[in-house]
Amino acid sequence: MYVNGQSARQTTTTTPSVTASCPLHTSFLPFHLPIQGTNMKFTYLTVAILAIGTSSFGSNFAHADPDPNSMVNQFELTGGKFEGFRRSGAKGVCASGEFIGSPEGKNISSSSAFSGKAIPVIVRFSVGGGNPKAADNTKSQRNLALQFALPNNEVWQMGNISAPVFGAATPDQFFGRLQSLQADPTTKMADPAKVKAFADANPAVLLQGKYLASKSVPASYASTNYWGVHGFGFTNARNEKVWGKWVFEPVEGVQTLSDEDAKSKGPNFLFDDLRQRVASGKVSFNFNLEIAQAGDLLDNATIPLPEGRKKITLGVLKVVSVSPDSTGSCLTMIFDPNIMPKGVEGAPDPMLRARTASYAISFGRRITEGPKQ
């Protein structure tokens, strides 16, 4: 999808409609939806499960996407199966916060998220991958998953990652990448020839890894950027639409570790560091939107917007508490980025649309096994 017309701001009549169906990422399942509480929460889970039955990843795409069950199975085969844990972003911690929208946010969207009043937010920070014992001191992906509790029982969920691009453009490409990385049962290692052959035929799958490898280890969950990677549209009360891609940027600035400092920190420093920073009241993120221009590609999560695009701040997210242990309000949740409030919509990106069904399947398995953080 390209931004339509001659301007990034336009009426909705010229914008293609987007229907949510289903998706995944190198933290592909930053999964989460509450199963306890109000009927509204049950309704969202029901919608997610029903999406599996329809298996409609969107009629705008001609290629055949992998079956969501097969996708989750492949996650387990490639990344390992750890019962009760999320199939990606397994090592995580629950937190809570509040969001206050800005006048700029209210100007581009009618969503109540931008009313200027404090909005309660459930937060989950995690390390990418399916291993709940993943090391904190490596150049791996970090995740920031959010659920905004808006007025009138509206919910807005997000899955943001510490790279401006995702690891594949389509579910089929992502599935193939996971298959190529699956360990050989004899050698217990991925076949280098298969890995290279798939990457040579699909160079986009290397972009995210190259980005993460080029950066130093983040000093904290609180000191790195988190991108939404997909394109999103915002519609205001005047029926004007703005498209773009967002990023949560730490108010205190990006902070990283030298290789020596990262080694000295050890593999399990992120949770305690986050608790200390939150206790000091210094964990906040600017919710920034990079505005797309005519011709910018928004339906491919491996392609960021060109550098220099205008950026506006939609509000500030402040983290106010962190769970003291492996429990918390995010424990039995799915964070599905297809759940958006009125005034916000996703671009017809096949990776965005493919998340819901795979998330619901993974969630169902995790709940049956006994959910763990």
For 62-91, the pLDDT digits (tens) are 457 899 999 999 999 999 999 999 999 999
More confidently predicted of 3 and 17: 3
More confidently predicted of 57 and 251: 251
- Kindly state whether residue 3 falls inside one of the protein's structural domains: no
User: Contact 64/18 with Cβ under 8 angstroms?
Assistant: no
Q: How far is CA 137 from CA 89, 215, 368, in A?
A: 15, 12, 32
CATH code for position 152: 2.40.180.10
How far is 137 from 12, CA to CA, in rounded Å? 45
- Kindly state whether residue 67 falls inside one of the protein's structural domains: yes
- Kindly state whether residue 218 falls inside one of the protein's structural domains: no
pTM: 0.86
Q: Name the band, by pLDDT with cuts 50, 70 and 90, for residue 4.
A: very low
For 278-317, the pLDDT digits (tens) are 999 999 999 999 999 999 999 999 999 999 999 999 999 9
- Kindly state whether residue 278 falls inside one of the protein's structural domains: yes
Least confident of 48-62, 89-103, 125-139, 347-361: 48-62
- Kindly state whether residue 136 falls inside one of the protein's structural domains: no
User: Contact 288/305 with Cβ under 8 angstroms?
Assistant: no
Domain coverage including residue 195:
9-130+141-213+223-369
Q: How far is CA 62 from CA 57, 346, 352, in A?
A: 10, 19, 16
- Kindly state whether residue 4 falls inside one of the protein's structural domains: no
CB atoms within 10 A of CB 83: 11
For 323-372, the pLDDT digits (tens) are 999 999 999 999 999 999 999 999 999 999 999 999 999 999 999 999 99
Q: Which residues contact 343 (CB under 8 A, 6 or more apart)?
A: 109, 110, 111, 234, 235, 236
User: Three-state SS across 250-274?
Assistant: ECCCCCEECHHHHHHHCCCCHHHHH
- Kindly state whether residue 135 falls inside one of the protein's structural domains: no
Number of domain units in the chain:
1
